[in-house]
């Protein structure tokens, strides 16, 4: 194993992934956990537990740790601000973890770190202007402007998931007071919600049979059935892809990026999701930005966030 | 008059304003024209005509000219790209004007120049992160990120007016293939369209009487009647202000700016427009960005674009 390893953690709304990362961005050990807990203490216990598992599996000195948090993060203090999916509001995540681990710890927004990894070494490599959407339980997002991650006045940019595309759309819920946000229409939860509707409408489809058999209808199940060719599941993924296309068309018009990278768990649907999104962008966005912007799946798939955290930890150790 | 004067031109979708500007940003002469013409040659004739009027009124050597164009502008070549309101697509505006005027000419997007003026000397002065919306015939927009104007990969950023907020909303029209764009719901044209509906619904209102008397229902008339206290006109301005609030909430969530500056002709409605917009932002945007972002009318009102063009011309002369 290379010297100077670090641990990067992607703390998602549902799952967390910790990885031992070396300076060449190779991943040596991974530890998975469910992330959700009803209190901050329980969530942080899971983070520490996963880090300790990865650390002991590596049998190596760990130089630093970084954690991507699905929250607006105060960069100066390491405190989580408005967090939609986990009970971490106003929690000093960085200092609590540093104390428990006895290691230097850095924190950042999870999607900013996914953007960092894709910009350094993935689908947005070499781009001056790029946008990343990580679609999982909700939508995280990051943007690179003139080669640097956009942070905004107080480090709270870029919440593209909370961009309204349906003024009178469904409530976004869980910490967001808005409705018709991109996240309310495009996310693992939206996929599951639309799938329930489609299953009821098409009881003979695979999706309909799964519902009748009492199987829990999750985004992952819909994606699996869509890959297997079930028309009802494909329809649901395509519908969500079309909403995603409206959101990406907005991003293309606003940022004029070279690439929009789509990652997170929902990208497991691949072209079944991105194909309809690309068609909507081609139809609705402005020229020439829509001809310029590539729409690409994340090179590192669902691991962009963890690798970006690794990059941040390497900087801290460096 | 100070030495080293320049001419700044704001070429709007309906009107154009040319001003003789000195290095302290004082405006010495103004020339107004209607901007629209069916061909590029007619539009450029009007621009040249206004510049010549301002130049001869000043009786002074003019060092340079800059023009803000309501189009995506190719900065390298000075060619207009996708232009929604004027027939300038693929027209080499910079070189044609330089040839006819015998002066150094610079061009930029009109809203980027309005942003520049407000950032240098107006409502966004000293801000690292700011967004400007100029609401006239359509919506122009500009953004400052870490103190610099956001241009995007090919200079086509920031088209916030073509951000969809109503996925199934009205067609945007005129060069934009999209529907439900912010511009389709918030602009002088949207104000006039909503006012026609309100006038028909309330025939005894001032707005209704104006319609019955055959007066043309324009955004300017609605604004005037709203300031006079006509409830129907106030309702129309408030409705448009609420749509504007949804757009500004998106901007606040995406950019986390210190200030959102609203300019252009429609800002003549003042707090009758901005009040309802602020209420929507307070209700729908995320914390803490919504507590951070001021929402301010442009310091230079409808002259931000012309002054920004003056700043650009001063740089060119510099």
Cβ <8 Å between B164 and A283? no
User: Nearest by CB to A253, which of B150, B159, B179?
Assistant: B159
The mean pLDDT of B147-172, rounded to a whole number, is: 94
8 Å CB contact of B158 and A256: yes
Candidates B80, B85, B154: best to mutate against A (most CBs of A within 10 A) is B154
**CB distance B256–A156 less than 8 Å?**
yes
Say if residue A3's pLDDT is above 70.
no
* Residues A90 and A78 sit within 8 Å (Cβ to Cβ): no
Chain A neighbors of B176, CB-CB under 8 A: 286
pLDDT higher than 80, residue B83: no
**Residue among B97, B41, B90 nearest B67 (CA):** B97
Q: How many residues does this entry show for chain A?
A: 318
What's the gap between Cα A235 and its chain centre? 23
Q: How far is A259 from chain B (nearest CA, A)?
A: 9
Say yes or no for a CB contact (<8 Å) between B167 and A250.
Answer: no
Q: What angle do CA B31, B36, B39 make, to 5 degrees?
A: 120
CB pairs under 8 A between A and B: 162
Which among A176, A243, A285 has CB closest to B286?
A176
Note the residue count of chain B. 318
**% of chain B residues with pLDDT over 70:** 99
CB contact under 8 A, B178 and A153: no
Average pLDDT over residues B87-99: 95
Distance CA A193, CA A176 (A): 18
Q: How confident is the model at residue B7 (pLDDT cuts 50, 70, 90)?
A: very high
Quick check: A156 and B254 CB within 8 A?
A: no
The partner residue sitting opposite B159, judged by closest CB among A129, A246, A254, is A254
Per mean pLDDT, which range of A127-136, A300-309, B1-10 is the poorest? B1-10
- Is the CB of A284 less than 8 angstroms away from the CB of B178? yes
Is the pLDDT at B82 greater than 80, yes or no?
no
What is the pLDDT averaged over residues A75-96?
A: 89
Quick one: tokens of A227?
Answer: 């890959």
Predicted pLDDT of residue B32 = 96
The whole-number pLDDT of residue B60 equals: 86
How crowded is residue A229: how many other Cβ atoms within 10 Å of its Cβ?
Answer: 9
Q: Would you place residue A14 in the very low, low, confident or very high pLDDT band (cuts 50, 70, 90)?
A: confident
Taking alpha carbons only, the member of A317, A290, A250, A305 closest to residue A118 is: A305
With beta carbons less than 8 A apart as the criterion, state whether B204 and B198 touch: no
Segment A219-224 shows an average pLDDT of 94
CB A180 within 8 A of CB A167: yes
Determine how many CB atoms are found less than 10 A away from the CB of residue B216: 9
The answer to whether B75 faces chain A, any CB pair under 8 Å, is no
Contact flag B255-A150 (C-beta cutoff 8 Å): yes
Interchain contact, B153 vs A250, CB within 8 Å: no
Mean pLDDT of A250-277: 96
Mean pLDDT of A4-11: 96
Q: Which of A157, A166, A286 has the CB atom closest to B256's CB atom?
A: A157
Residue A286 DSSP one-character state: P
Q: Dump pLDDT digits (tens) for A160-184.
A: 999 999 999 999 987 899 999 999 9
**pLDDT tier for residue A1 given thresholds of 50, 70 and 90:** very low
* Interface contact flag, A246 B164, Cβ < 8 Å: yes
Is the overall model pTM greater than 0.90, yes or no?
yes
The answer to whether B306 contacts chain A (CB < 8 Å) is: no
B178, A249: Cβ pair inside 8 Å? yes
Q: Which of B250, B257, B282, B290 to mutate to test the interface with A (most CBs of A within 10 A)?
A: B250
| DSSP, res B287 | T
> Region A78-98: what's the mean pLDDT?
90
**Closest chain A C-alpha to B109 CA, distance in angstroms:** 14
CB within 8 Å: A164 and B284: yes
A289/B152 CB distance under 8 A: yes
Element (H, E) at A260: strand A259-263
Peptide bond into B82 cis (omega under 30): no
pLDDT tens profile A224-252? 999 999 999 999 999 999 999 999 999 99
State both tokens at B263.
């300019």
CB distance from A282 to chain B under 8 Å? no
Interface probe with A: pick from B111, B132, B159, most Cβ of A within 10 Å: B159
Q: What is the mean pLDDT of residues A124-151?
A: 95
Could you tell me which chain B residue has the CA closest to the CA of A150? Answer: B145
Does B177 touch chain A if contact means CB atoms closer than 8 Å? yes
- Helices A231-255 and A271-284 sit at what angle, rounded to 10 degrees? 50
Question: Which strands form A27-34's sheet, in the order they lie side by side?
Answer: A27-34, A15-21, A6-11, A65-69, A105-109
Which residue among A166, A246, A256 sits closest to B157, beta carbon to beta carbon? Answer: A256
Q: Which residues of A124-147 are buried (b: 16+ CB within 10 A; e: fewer)?
A: beebbbbbbbbbbbbbbbbbbbee
* A55, A6 Cβ separation under 8 angstroms: no
Question: Is A158 at the interface with chain B, CB within 8 A?
Answer: yes
Q: In the predicted model, is pLDDT for residue B2 greater than 70?
A: no
Residue A246 at interface with chain B, using a CB cutoff of 8 Å: yes
The one-character DSSP state at B90 is T
In whole angstroms, what is the distance from residue A250 CA to residue B250 CA?
A: 11
Q: Chain B closest CA to A276's CA: distance in Å?
A: 15
The mean of the pLDDT values for chain B is 94
pLDDT of residue B3: 64
Name the token pair of A274.
């991105």
* A 26-45: CB under 8 A from B: none
Option in B243, B253, B293 nearest A163 (CB)? B253
User: Between residues A75 and A249, which one has the greater pLDDT?
Assistant: A249
* Residue in chain B lying closest to A80 (CA): B288
**Range 199-228 of A in CB contact (< 8 A) with B:** none
B184 sits in the region (left: phi over 0; alpha: psi -120 to 50; else beta) called: alpha
Interchain proximity B255–A158, CB inside 8 Å: yes
Q: Test A255 with B158 for CB contact under 8 angstroms.
A: yes
Nearest alpha-carbon partner for A157 in B133, B286, B126: B286
Q: Find the mean pLDDT for residues A261-277.
A: 94
- The DSSP letter of residue B286 is P
């Amino acid at each position: 194993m290379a010297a100077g390893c670090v641990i990067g953690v992607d703390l998602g709304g549902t799952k967390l992934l910790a990885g031992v990362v070396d300076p060449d961005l190779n991943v040596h050990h991974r530890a998975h956990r469910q992330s959700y807990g009803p209190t901050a203490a329980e969530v942080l216990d899971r983070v520490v537990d996963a880090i300790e598992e990865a650390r002991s599996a590596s049998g190596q000195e760990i130089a630093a740790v970084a954690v991507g948090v699905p929250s607006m993060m105060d960069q100066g203090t390491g405190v989580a601000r408005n967090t939609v999916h986990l009970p971490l509001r106003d929690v000093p995540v960085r200092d609590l973890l540093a104390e428990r681990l006895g290691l230097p710890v850095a924190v950042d927004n999870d999607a900013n770190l996914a953007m960092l990894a894709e910009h350094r070494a993935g689908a947005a490599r070499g781009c001056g202007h790029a946008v990343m959407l990580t679609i999982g339980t909700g939508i995280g997002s990051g943007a690179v402007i003139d080669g640097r991650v956009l942070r905004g006045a107080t480090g709270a940019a870029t919440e593209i998931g909370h961009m309204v595309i349906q003024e009178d759309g469904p409530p976004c819920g869980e910490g967001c007071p808005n409705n018709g946000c991109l996240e309310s229409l495009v996310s693992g939860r939206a996929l599951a919600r639309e799938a329930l509707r489609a299953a009821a409408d098409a009881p003979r489809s695979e999706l309909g049979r799964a519902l009748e058999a009492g199987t829990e209808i999750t985004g992952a199940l819909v994606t699996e059935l869509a890959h297997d060719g079930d028309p009802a599941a494909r329809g649901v993924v395509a519908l969500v892809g079309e909403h995603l296309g409206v959101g990406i068309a907005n991003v293309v018009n606003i940022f004029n990026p070279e690439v929009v990278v789509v990652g997170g768990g929902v990208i497991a649907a691949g072209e079944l999701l991105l194909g309809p999104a690309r068609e909507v962008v081609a139809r609705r966005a402005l020229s020439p930005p829509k001809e310029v912007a590539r729409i690409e799946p994340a090179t590192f798939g669902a691991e962009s966030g963890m690798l970006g955290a690794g990059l941040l930890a390497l900087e801290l150790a460096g």
